[in-house]
């Protein structure tokens, strides 16, 4: 993606939407799913992902569970009840933002 700045404000919403759909995911899985969904156009770095996950957890929107997988500890994240409500709010706001941007980019001028 040439201008990832456009996505930075949506990172938390992207994470929350994926967790809403999948139930629970670990960090690397989130990065790979975003890459897959966007056909490689959007790559979330660990440097952006983990601070976002920790912030969402601190805000009470996510909770983490640690599991041993293949002799390693893996941290899974899932939405809390408040996180589910917040996801719905953020998705609604994002959809409204997208509609407004489409209107600005492709205005129907009336003279």
Dump pLDDT digits (tens) for 2-34: 556 767 778 999 999 999 999 999 999 999 999
**CB distance 87 to 79 below 8 Å:** yes
Low-confidence ranges of the chain (pLDDT < 70): 1-4, 6, 110-111
User: Residue 48, Cβ neighbours under 10 Å: how many?
Assistant: 15
pTM of the predicted protein model: 0.85
């Amino acid at each position: 993606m040439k201008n990832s700045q456009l996505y930075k404000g949506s990172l938390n919403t992207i994470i929350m939407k994926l967790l809403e759909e999948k139930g629970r995911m670990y960090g690397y899985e989130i990065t790979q799913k975003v890459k897959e969904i966007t056909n490689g156009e959007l790559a979330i770095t660990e440097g952006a992902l983990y601070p976002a996950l920790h912030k969402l957890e601190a805000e009470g929107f996510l909770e983490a569970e640690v599991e041993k997988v293949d002799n390693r500890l893996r941290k899974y994240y899932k939405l809390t009840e408040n996180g589910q409500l917040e996801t719905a709010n953020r998705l609604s706001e994002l959809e409204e933002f997208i509609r407004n941007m489409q209107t600005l980019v492709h205005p129907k001028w009336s003279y």
